[in-house]
Amino acid sequence: MGRAGHAGPGPAGERDAVATTIKDVAAAAGVGIATVSRVFSGTGSVSAATRERVLAVAGDLDYRPSAVGRSLKTRRTGGLGLAVPDVSDPFCAEVVAGVLECARSLGQHVLLDATLGDPAREAEIADRFAEQRVDGVIAMPSGVADPWTGFGRTGVPLVYVGRVPSCRSWAGKVPAVLADDAAGIRSAAEYLVGLGHRRIGFLGAPAPGTPPDVREDAFRAALAALGVPVDEDLVARARPTRDSAYAAAAGLMQRRADLTAVLASGHLPGEAAVLVARELDLRVPADLSIAMVDDIAWAELADPPLTAVNRPARDLGYRACELAARGTARRGPAGPVLLPTELIVRGSCGPAPSRRDRARH
């Protein structure tokens, strides 16, 4: 009669219905069940010869350790929870790709969900990850609310990626892997001022009632350092949606005919700036220069191609996964990990037009 889990007598060598168990491996290898368990868990002392014999027998019997059994013993799933606002968003998609690449290299699996920018949905996902007892959490928080902090209190590694909660109480209490947005905004603002622009709109600042974020603070600081007054009427606020970004861009460009440049705080307001400029028959960059944060694929394909601050989304995801999977986050943050940004100069920015030039057009 065939060994359990292997082809026995029967048509076409069909496998027996009963799968190979750890007892079968132990019996065939001439060792105890505890020894087989130590080999596959990587814990405890096992001689090299015994380990090789157990693995050889397991391979011959096509034995696979039970993930369910391991999770019952450890009370963990052995996976990482990953939450992003929108998996279809180009920046989020690259972050996810980086996390998956790292997880694959570490032998981890990932539970992925999207918050859709909804605080209630985000809280539900956090609760679900807690119920599933994930080994670590990587979160791109969606706003002011922060339902993730409970993981840190229970010893589960928690890492923010790409952004942190906009509440000031965060204050570096949770490890984070971030792009150096301040440096990116500063380089873009300096570039526009160097081209002679003084009436620069900042499009996509946090919506009214929420505190300024790193990008708005950096924009204000950069202009102040360059001796350019910040015109509050040129700071256009929007929620992180296409409709809100479009409304903010339309309001800004229609309200301020003297505007010569727009620095968009992300690719959604950047897209809105391009659309509204086209609808208002503004020539880019002759009438209006446009630069944005996030060098996503369509930026290079726009006409003209857009100047953009490149944030290394895939690297952000990879590094955050390393921290969460290896438990580095348990040791407490030593400040956020900042990855460098780069200003990619393209044809959407040019010298500031004079009032006469714009009037002639």
**Stronger pLDDT, 245 or 166, i.e. the higher one:** 245
> Is residue 170 very low, low, confident or very high in pLDDT (cuts 50, 70, 90)?
low
Distance CA 272, CA 266 (A): 10
Residue 291 · residue 192 · CB < 8 Å: yes
**Stronger pLDDT, 334 or 335, i.e. the higher one:** 335
Q: Can you give the pLDDT at residue 7?
A: 43
Q: Is 29 exposed, middle or buried (0-12, 13-18, 19+ CB in 10 A)?
A: buried
Q: Can you give the pLDDT at residue 348?
A: 98
Q: Quick check: helix, strand or coil at residue 221? A: helix
Q: Quick check: helix, strand or coil at residue 167? A: coil
Q: Can you give the pLDDT at residue 328?
A: 60
**Stronger pLDDT, 11 or 129, i.e. the higher one:** 129
103-114 pLDDT per residue, tens: 999 888 999 999
Contacts of 181 (CB under 8 A, 6+ apart): 214, 215, 218, 293, 309, 311, 341
Domains of the chain: 11-65 (1.10.260.40), 78-179+313-338 (3.40.50.2300), 181-311+343-360 (3.40.50.2300)
Distance CA 342, CA 361 (A): 33
**Which DSSP helix (H) or strand (E) runs through 71?**
helix 67-74
Q: Quick check: helix, strand or coil at residue 16? A: coil
Backbone φ, ψ for residue 172 (5° rounding)? 75, 15
Q: Say which range, 55-59, 264-268, 312-316, has the weakest mean pLDDT.
A: 55-59
> Is residue 306 very low, low, confident or very high in pLDDT (cuts 50, 70, 90)?
very high
Across 177-202, average pLDDT: 97
Q: Is 16 exposed, middle or buried (0-12, 13-18, 19+ CB in 10 A)?
A: middle
**Stronger pLDDT, 150 or 322, i.e. the higher one:** 322
Secondary structure percentages of the chain, helix, strand, coil, to 5: 45, 15, 40
- Angle 267-279/242-255 helices, nearest 10 degrees? 50
Tokens 């009427």 sit on residue: 233
C-alpha to C-alpha distances, 353 to 63, 199, 286, 287, 358, nearest whole angstrom: 72, 11, 7, 6, 7
Across 182-200, average pLDDT: 98
Q: Can you give the pLDDT at residue 9?
A: 41
Q: Can you give the pLDDT at residue 13?
A: 42
Across 204-209, average pLDDT: 87
- Which one, of 241, 157, 165, 258, lies nearest residue 207 by Cα? 241
2-11 pLDDT per residue, tens: 444 444 444 4
> Is residue 34 very low, low, confident or very high in pLDDT (cuts 50, 70, 90)?
confident
Residue 314 · residue 73 · CB < 8 Å: no
Residues in the chain: 361
Across 185-208, average pLDDT: 96
**Stronger pLDDT, 48 or 360, i.e. the higher one:** 48
Instruction: Output the DSSP codes for 76-137.
Output: S-SEEEEEES-TTSHHHHHHHHHHHHHHHHTT-EEEEEE-TT-HHHHHHHHHHHHHTT-SEE
Across 42-69, average pLDDT: 78
Q: Can you give the pLDDT at residue 361?
A: 53
Percentage of the chain surpassing pLDDT 90? 61
pTM, whole model, 2 decimals?
A: 0.77
Distance CA 235, CA 212 (A): 11
Q: What is the largest CA-CA distance in the chain?
A: 95
Distance CA 341, CA 291 (A): 14
Instruction: Output the DSSP codes for 222-268.
Output: HHHHTT----GGGEEE--SSHHHHHHHHHHHHHH-TT--EEEESSHH
Pairing of strands 79-84, 158-161: unpaired
CB count in 10 Å sphere of residue 93: 17
